[in-house]
Structure 1
Amino acid sequence: MVLLAAFVCAACGLVYELELVALGGRLLGDPVTQTSLVLSVMVFAMGIGSLLAKHLTRRPATAFAVVESALALVGGLSGLALYACWAWFGQCRAATAALAALIGLLIGAEIPLLMTLIQRIRRQDPGRAVADLFAADYVGALVGGLAFPFLLLPAFGQAAGALLAGGVNAVAGGAVVLWLFRDEPARRTRLLLWAGCGLVLAALATAAAGTDAVERAARHALYGDRVRFADQGGQQEIVLTGAATGAGLRLYLDGRLALCAADGRRLQQALAAPAMAGPHARVLVLGGGDGLTVREVLRHPGVRQVVAVQPDPDLTALARTDPALTALNRHALDDPRVRIVAADPFGWLRAAASAEPPFDVILADLPEPGGERGAELWTEEFYGLAARLLAPGGRLALHPGPLGPGTAAERRFWAVESTLRSVALRTTPYAVPVGTPGCGTPADQGFLLAAARPTTLAPAELRAAATRLAARRPTPAPPPATLLRPLG
């Protein structure tokens, strides 16, 4: 029974760890840093917790019940706490480090206390006892690690999954050990421990019942009163604000503004128009799940087929059914010329190299570069695969983001240009001023038109802007981005 408790507690501990990694990475958009922060802080804190547990081994059952009740409460509430910090304070990295340290301290105290309890039950060689305990601990970690992505996340979501793990942790760690070693604490202490375990379970159940209310309050703090749709999809949180008529329409993905209706058409026109100036019978759209890029493609006569590779099917479904979005994209995703493929763009390009005919135009409507999320979509490997799908005379266009002399965004822009040049594409950079009141600060948005042969930028008014922008190209050119050296 003690080894079973160790097994379950190890599974729950790994669920808390993965919760901090996954949720923090989604909120901050930097999963590599988040993973490193959580793992390093938690492992260090486990060592400190093991040292501190030496002072608790005189009453190991009582101490273990207290530790597990505290771990169940902190770990179970960690997801909600992290989300609340991000929503109300605008950042959650400090909260992530604090939660990782506290959870690590409590997990680190488990092993010395469990070892003492095992030795009380059955005197045996210390090496055998350590082997039994570590085997239960490691197998439990395997079960917890597999349960998190394949069971807890799909069935309960991140916050509710952590709360469920906390409840299991409280029962397995506190109640089982208190029942097995009920003679260790005095009667009054035992009643207090049982009451504490019950309060933890009640707190977790209350938090589970109030999870939706917390999420609604957090969204109100982030987006105001006009949240019309909110869903924690399989890949990202999708929030739509504004009226169903389209007034004030904004689309947020994981808390970041992805679409403002007043600016959407100008951005998509700037992306699509220069590339569509040549042959455009077959067009490939990578990303752009809101349907606006596809709408701009279909405005040009002569388009026979559009293949839209959309990584998030939840966003695509919303763009096909929401009245404001469908009015904005003009039901472009339902056009018979459009074939929607729900797939990761990188993986689809690898498979399509031998299965798809060439495309006259490729439009990459992807999240802006920066950080680790989606970094593979701005690499030499990605655009090398895309270049192989271009027909002779075909064009590729992309939008690396805003420009500003001397800013990190402009340095990333020229690094993206170097990446395109590294796969033997000729590039034409151009900028379009975008910024409608209510949609953010007006700024020049940078675009890149690339082809295997020299291209002429159209319409004519863009050529002057392109000449001015080309004069800002840094010398020497920044190195291209690769999977091993992504954009910073």
Structure 2
Amino acid sequence: MSNSLFVEHHSEGLTFYINGNLQFDTSDEALYHEYLVIPALALAAQRFPHEPLRVLILGGGDGLAARDALRFAQVRDITLVDYDPEVLALARSEFLPYNQGSLQPDIGACLGAERVTVHIQDAFEFVHRLPDGCYHVAIADFTCPTRPEDLSVFSLEWFTQVRRVLAEKGLFALNGVSPDKTPTAFWCLYQTLWAAGLTPKPMYLSIPSFQQLGYGNWGFFLASTEPRSSPISGAN
């Protein structure tokens, strides 16, 4: 399963595309990655105050989510799983000034970048082989699905497996789709997370580079393994 990668340089840095779809623009990528990563880890630090945190990043081969996860001294180790070696190569070259060497501990400016272990592997297969309850936080940073083969990591089976590998009160953060441009798909993701036994909180953010390309506000979910009562009314 090969992807078409394109890096466009501009006065403020660079823009990265996969299969013609914007992944990030360095002018505002911090908005996206902080919104994806920081709430989950901040809440995990409160829920597990005396435990070194174990974090699973699924996708995120650009190293930007790992960069933000490394801000937390409580994070003991990060497992990053991305199947595309070309993206990982870019993370260690052109993206290096932006991810601060999060995937390259020998030169990384990130404090404790040696805490990151990278697996070049299909995330779906990797998670299926993990033992139960082995991570406090999972973060999924996948490309928005445009092909049938991309849908496996947005399926009920996938979300059920992610829930299985999370500790009790563990957290799962993921990027979604646009709630205003594609509301049916956004709320379908919500309902699928719910059906997998997770309690999802829907969120959205205005990212200028996404807005300029007509993507609309961008959706995220922060889901928990904690018990729940009923879905929120907006999901109906």
The interval holding the TM-score normalised by the smaller chain is 0.7 to 0.9
User: What is the CA deviation profile of residues 49-68 of structure 1, one whole-angstrom value per residue up to 9, with x for unaligned ones?
Assistant: xxxxxxxxxxxxxxxxxxxx
1:401 is aligned, of 164, 168, 177, to: 177
Look up the equivalent residue of 2:7 and give its one-letter code: L
2:12 matches 1:238: no
User: What is the CA deviation profile of residues 420-445 of structure 1, one whole-angstrom value per residue up to 9, with x for unaligned ones?
Assistant: 11111111111222214995347321
Is the CA contact 2:175–2:220 (under 8 Å) kept in the aligned structure 1?
yes
TM-score for the superposition, normalised by structure 2: 0.85
- Where do 1:252-267 residues align within 5 Å? 252-267=17-32
Compared CA separation, residues 365 and 263, structure 1 to 2 (3 A): same
Number of equivalent positions: 218
2:61 matches 1:285: no
Q: Which residue in the other structure is 1:353 paired with?
A: 131
Q: Which residue in the other structure is 1:414 paired with?
A: 187
Residue 44 of structure 2 aligns to a residue in which SS? coil
User: What is the CA deviation profile of residues 392-421 of structure 1, one whole-angstrom value per residue up to 9, with x for unaligned ones?
Assistant: 1110011112221xx4x2111111111111
Compared CA separation, residues 453 and 438, structure 1 to 2 (3 A): closer
Look up the equivalent residue of 2:9 and give its one-letter code: G
- Give, in whole Å, the separation in 2 of the partners of 1:437 and 1:359: 31
Compared CA separation, residues 386 and 429, structure 1 to 2 (3 A): same
Residue 273 of structure 1 aligns to a residue in which SS? helix
Is the CA contact 1:285–1:294 (under 8 Å) kept in the aligned structure 2?
yes
- Where do 1:76-475 residues align within 5 Å? 235-242=2-9, 247-279=12-44, 281-322=53-94, 325-334=95-104, 335-353=113-131, 358-404=134-180, 407=181, 409-436=182-209, 440-441=213-214, 443-453=216-226, 473-475=234-236
Structure holding more strand per residue? 2
Structure 1: runs of 5+ lacking an equivalent? 1-233, 456-469, 476-488
Structure holding more helix per residue? 1
Residue 295 of structure 1 aligns to a residue in which SS? helix
> How much has 1:373 moved relative to structure 2?
3.6
> How much has 1:371 moved relative to structure 2?
4.2
Is the CA contact 1:393–1:452 (under 8 Å) kept in the aligned structure 2?
yes
Compared CA separation, residues 311 and 437, structure 1 to 2 (3 A): closer
Residue 249 of structure 1 aligns to a residue in which SS? strand
Residue 276 of structure 1 aligns to a residue in which SS? helix
- Give, in whole Å, the separation in 2 of the partners of 1:282 and 1:474: 31
Compared CA separation, residues 393 and 430, structure 1 to 2 (3 A): same
Is the CA contact 1:435–1:443 (under 8 Å) kept in the aligned structure 2?
no
Q: Which residue in the other structure is 2:107 paired with?
A: none
Look up the equivalent residue of 1:240 and give its one-letter code: V
Residue 278 of structure 1 aligns to a residue in which SS? helix
> How much has 1:263 moved relative to structure 2?
2.5
Compared CA separation, residues 450 and 330, structure 1 to 2 (3 A): same
- Give, in whole Å, the separation in 2 of the partners of 1:438 and 1:414: 20
Higher relative contact order (CA closer than 8 Å, sequence separation 6+): 2
Compared CA separation, residues 256 and 285, structure 1 to 2 (3 A): same
Look up the equivalent residue of 1:414 and give its one-letter code: W
Look up the equivalent residue of 1:271 and give its one-letter code: L
- Give, in whole Å, the separation in 2 of the partners of 1:291 and 1:452: 26
User: What is the CA deviation profile of residues 217-245 of structure 1, one whole-angstrom value per residue up to 9, with x for unaligned ones?
Assistant: xxxxxxxxxxxxxxxxx7212111105xx
TM-score for the superposition, normalised by structure 1: 0.42
Q: After alignment, is 280-289 or 445-454 more displaced?
A: 445-454
Give aligned-pair identity as a percent: 28
> How much has 1:285 moved relative to structure 2?
0.3
- Give, in whole Å, the separation in 1 of the partners of 2:20 and 2:196: 34
Structure 2: runs of 5+ lacking an equivalent? 46-52, 105-112
**What is the alpha-carbon root mean square deviation over aligned residues?**
2.2
